Amino acid sequence: MEALGMRIPIADPDIGEEELANVITAVRSGWISSAGEFIIRFEQQFAQYCGAKYGVATSSGTAAIHLALAALGIGKEDEVIVPTLTFIATANAVTFTGASPVFVDSHPEYWCMDPNRIEERITKRTKAIIPVHLYGHPCDMSAISDIAKSYNLLIIEDAAEAHGAEYKHQKVGSFGDVSCFSFYGNKIITTGEGGMCLTDNEELATRLRKLRDHGKNSARAYWHDVIGFNYRMTNLQAAVGVAQIDKLDRLIQKKRAIGALYEEALGDLVQQGVIKLYHEMPWSKSVWWMYSILIEDSFGKDRNEVAEELLNREIATRPVFYPIHTMPPYYNHQTFPVSEEISRKGLTLPSGLTLSNDDITTICSLITSMSQTR
């Protein structure tokens, strides 16, 4: 249950004097709209951090995914494979282009799309796969890339929740034809609202920039040869972003420390089999964007009851995402049992950047006291 003014919030940003100083510089410079020094620096520094050549900053993460799909020519009649267990924006961005999202079930250990479930969903119309690095844990990129290669499919990474996460020591955002990030207020780093597309392909970067800016022709002023969007980021947002990049490694360390503390403090309940954690796979470095657990039936209380009791102590939690195929815009008759089970049992615990060790101890002892099998 998310709400303002909780004693322990679900996720809060780490912003301060450095961000403020950059914003003041931007305001004083007069460059407050979507051109300026900070935009250029933010795009270059973030791309470099992730190991990609080009960065194209956008107004949101959703805009970044839509822009990537549009620049790759995805449209009507096309199908794009997405996990059903993700934030709804992943599927909506596909729908915006006129294409259809085709859902895939989750892997039971690490909750991202299960590579073994992809091939059965490929048809003649399939054009692309969008792996989502869910809750900061990377997808199995080798397995997904192999499938994409053999069926000639594009890969668009949705790394909105996974800045700095690594697959086999390589940062996410460097695997896709285009990779997309969000800088919404609760993400690993933030610009308030914002997003970015990364790519190594110069031509694609140019097309992303053109479509971001109303499809403007670069050679002939106010001539538009395609329908584009206004998906630009402002220099004010990028000013915040530049300061956030400097903190990114420290923020990731903090997220990983939160994950490790939860794992330790919930160890007894895991031993008893009444809760289950999602695992960091041996090939991955997760950034634990939002630490989530499964409340097993043997716990004695269900996920909603646990959330309710924590809320009574002013501790904010969230249910894990609802599988997209179970919600009205995307209802269909398929079942994806792994995602459905994770969603039914999944509880996201406070994971904010100002969370203290004492907060974690408090939360875990409350949860332990709720379990009736002690």
Tell me if 342 sits within 8 A of 114, measured CB to CB. Answer: no
The half-sphere exposure of 332 on its side-chain side, counting CA atoms within 13 A, is: 13
Pairing mode, if any, of strands 178-182 and 154-158? parallel
Asked if 161 interacts with ligand PLP (CB under 6 A), we say yes
Beta strands, E only, 79-220? 79-83, 100-104, 126-129, 154-158, 166-167, 170-171, 178-182, 195-199
Stretch 32-61: interaction string toward ligand PLP, x if CB under 6 A: ----------------------------xx
| Nearest distance in Å: CB 269, ligand PLP | 27
When the beta carbons of 178 and 367 are compared against ligand PLP, the nearer one is: 178
Please report, as residue ranges, which positions from 242 to 281 form the binding site for ligand PLP (by CB under 6 A): none
Q: Which residue's beta carbon is nearest to the bound ligand PLP?
A: 61
Would you state the torsion angle of the CA atoms of residues 261, 262, 264, 268, taken in this order, to the nearest 10 degrees?
Answer: 160
Stretch 60-99: interaction string toward ligand PLP, x if CB under 6 A: xxx-----------------------xx-xx---------
> Could you tell me which residues are beta bridge partners of residue 154?
128
Stretch 108-147: interaction string toward ligand PLP, x if CB under 6 A: ------------------------x---------------
Q: Specify whether 210 is catalytic.
A: no
Contacts with ligand PLP: how many residues (CB under 6 A)?
Answer: 14
Beta-carbon contacts of 225 under 8 Å, excluding residues fewer than 6 positions away, are 215, 217
When the beta carbons of 59 and 371 are compared against ligand PLP, the nearer one is: 59
Which is the catalytic residue, given 187, 254, 285, 345?
187
Q: Which tokens belong to 273?
A: 């089999």
When the beta carbons of 160 and 251 are compared against ligand PLP, the nearer one is: 160
Asked if 158 interacts with ligand PLP (CB under 6 A), we say yes
> Could you tell me which residues are beta bridge partners of residue 83?
104
How far, in Å, CA of 130 to CA of 92, rounded? 12
The residue within the footprint of ligand PLP, chosen from 97, 182, 292, 339 (CB under 6 A), is: 182
| Nearest distance in Å: CB 233, ligand PLP | 11
| Packed helices 235-265 and 37-50: angle between N→C axes, nearest 10 degrees | 30
Q: Which residues contact ligand PLP by CB under 6 A?
A: 60-62, 86-87, 89-90, 132, 158, 160-161, 182, 184, 195
